[in-house]
Structures are given as structure tokens and as C-alpha cells.
Amino acid sequence: MTTKETKKTVVQTEIPDRLLMQEQTLIATGWFRDLNELMLDALRRFLESHRADLLEEFIRHDVEWGLTGKELHSGGDKFDEEINS
């Protein structure tokens, strides 16, 4: 059985100290193994919870284009491709 490797990218960001302290508390109490796991879970949950809103926006743009023939580009096409892959 073969396993499919997921391509990964390192992201660097700044967060407020207070937020970091809350994250460290969650890690120390066993909710997450490490900061990477916590951040991935938070990002995944954010994207899942906002997916309907994003899809609605894309549909609205498609309908507008269908009615007027005008291209309304918001950069969502690339996101849509990524989220559906």
C-alpha cells in the first residue's frame, strides 16, 4: 500500500503574546501535541466554517457574470481550485 505525501509549506507569522499564552496552555494541558498541530487545526476549522460563505460569494459572481457578461474577479477562482483539490 502506498501513501500519498502532502506537499507542505513553512509559514511564519506574528501573533500577540496573549494569544500565544492561550495556545501554550492548550498544549500543556494535552489538547494538542504542539503549536503546529494547534495552528493547523485552527486554520482547517476556520476554512471549513467559512466555506459556505465563500461558495455563496463565488455563486453570486457567476450569476452576475451570467446575467451581465461582465467578469467580476475577486481572486476566488484560485481558492476554489485549491479547496476542491
d(C-alpha 41, C-alpha 23), whole Å: 12
Confirm whether 8 is domain-assigned: no
Taking Cα atoms as reference points, which of 6, 1, 2 lies closest to residue 44? 6
Q: What nine digits make up the cell of 81?
A: 481550485
pLDDT at 24: 97
Within-domain flag for 5: no
> 17-28 and 35-68 helices cross at what angle (nearest 10)?
120
Domain encompassing residue 77: 17-84
The residue ranking higher by pLDDT, 75 or 29, is 29
What does the pLDDT look like over 7-19, one tens digit per residue? 999 999 999 999 9
Q: How many domains does the chain have?
A: 1
Does residue 23 belong to any structural domain of this protein? yes
Asked, for residue 45, whether it belongs to a domain, the answer is: yes
Percentage of the chain surpassing pLDDT 90?
Answer: 46
Residue 44 lies in a domain: yes
